[in-house]
Amino acid sequence: MTARRSRRPLALLALAGSLAAVRCGAGEPPPVAPTPLPVIDLERRDTPLALSADRYLLQLQAGDLSDDPATPPCDTLGLPRAGKTLTTWLWFGWEGDELVGRSRPPYNSSLEMRLHRVSSSLLGVVVAGTLTGYARDEYDPLLGALDLTFNIYDPAAVEGIVTPPIPDERITPRVGGRMRGHFSFDDSHHDSSLCTTVWYYLEVHPPGGPGDDPSVPPIVQRLGDASGAHGAAARGDGGGAPTAGRTPGA
């Protein structure tokens, strides 16, 4: 009997403590549900398509070797002697729902690139379009001015991606991708190579930078690489007048 009676006070104390805890919490607000995490739209259909109004450096490049059937190499290995990398310039503006980039004097080029929106994501805006015309290689600080002309014989199909601008970092949109069609790289010695796939890259280079002074020897020349013909265009508005080159079919 003594053992049973000694347990009752302990049980009463535990019950009293539970009731006190309930009464103390009765005046507190109910717990708040956790804030849900924001939903990230990985597709970013609202990523704007925009290019700077400044001058864009356009680099075109094709290869002599490829193990990818989707991007076959050009048909003549090692020709032209200046290679298959060409530099020129474009300016872009809106025409309807297309961004249109064109060459301007004094550059020896008739290129016209038209781009329209296809889709978008966090990485940027996927674009497609066409490229027509021809271009003569212009001076750049890496290679100089090469004895090289790029010709397009039919409107080429262009595909690529435009990176979104980053205002705080002052990074302007860039474009990269490939084009398919019938192209040739030619030189003044009538050496030529036909290609069906060409890679391209566009980046803003405002006039007046170090790349606009053809009196500065290009990097490859300073490294002792004498391959190619390095012309000397006169300094002018954004790069100087290009060396006269032949037009397509000439």
In a domain? residue 102: yes
Mean per-residue pLDDT for 73-94?
A: 94
In a domain? residue 197: yes
Q: What pLDDT, on the 0 to 100 scale, is given for residue 219?
A: 79
Query: Which range marks the domain in which residue 68 is found?
Result: 56-222
In a domain? residue 25: no
Residues 6+ apart with CB under 8 A from 115: 98, 99, 100, 101, 127, 128, 129, 158, 160, 162, 175
Domain count, the chain: 1
CA distance 146 to 187: 9
In a domain? residue 248: no
CB 160, CB 51: distance < 8 Å: no
Q: What pLDDT, on the 0 to 100 scale, is given for residue 237?
A: 39
pTM over 0.75: no
- Per-residue burial over 207-243, b if 16 or more Cβ lie within 10 Å, else e, is eeeebbebeeebebbeeeeeebbbbebeeeebbbbbb
- Does residue 204 register a pLDDT over 80? yes
- Does residue 53 register a pLDDT over 50? yes
